[in-house]
Amino acid sequence: MYSIWNPRRWNFRLLRAEVKGYLSAGSSPTVRALSAGTAQPAHDAQENATSGTKANIRTYLAANPDVGQLSINQVLTVLRERGIRTSRTTVAEVLREIRKSA
C-alpha cells in the first residue's frame, strides 16, 4: 500500500512538480530555439531523399515516355510495380514538371 510519504511516490511528486514549473515558466522560446536547430537537418535529409526519388521517376519516365501520358494514379501503380517507392504527390510534381517543359 502506498502512502503519501512513500519515498518513491514522494520523489515522483517532486519531479512532476518540477517539470510542471519548468514548462509553465515561459521557457517555450528556448525550447523552440533548440527544436529549430535540430529540425533543419532532418528537413534537408527529407528533401534529398525526395530529390533522389524524383530523379528515379524522371529516369524511368524518360526511358518509358508512354507511361508519362498516363494519369497520376496509373503512373504511381506502374512505378510501384517496378519497385520505385514514392508518393502520389511526388509523382504529380514530376509529371507537372515534365508536361510543363514539353
Query: Which residue range(s) make up the domain with 71?
Result: 7-101
| Residue 47 lies inside a defined structural domain of this protein | yes
| Residue 86 lies inside a defined structural domain of this protein | yes
pTM of the model: 0.52
Express each pLDDT in 62-82 by its tens digit. Answer: 999 999 999 999 999 999 999
C-alpha grid cell for residue 13?
Answer: 511528486
| Residue 2 lies inside a defined structural domain of this protein | no
| Residue 44 lies inside a defined structural domain of this protein | yes
| Residue 46 lies inside a defined structural domain of this protein | yes
Structurally, the chain folds into a number of domains equal to: 1
| Residue 56 lies inside a defined structural domain of this protein | yes
Express each pLDDT in 25-47 by its tens digit. Answer: 654 555 555 555 555 555 555 55
Cβ(87)–Cβ(49) below 8 Å: no
| Residue 1 lies inside a defined structural domain of this protein | no
**Residue 56, C-beta contacts closer than 8 angstroms, at least 6 positions apart:** 84, 86
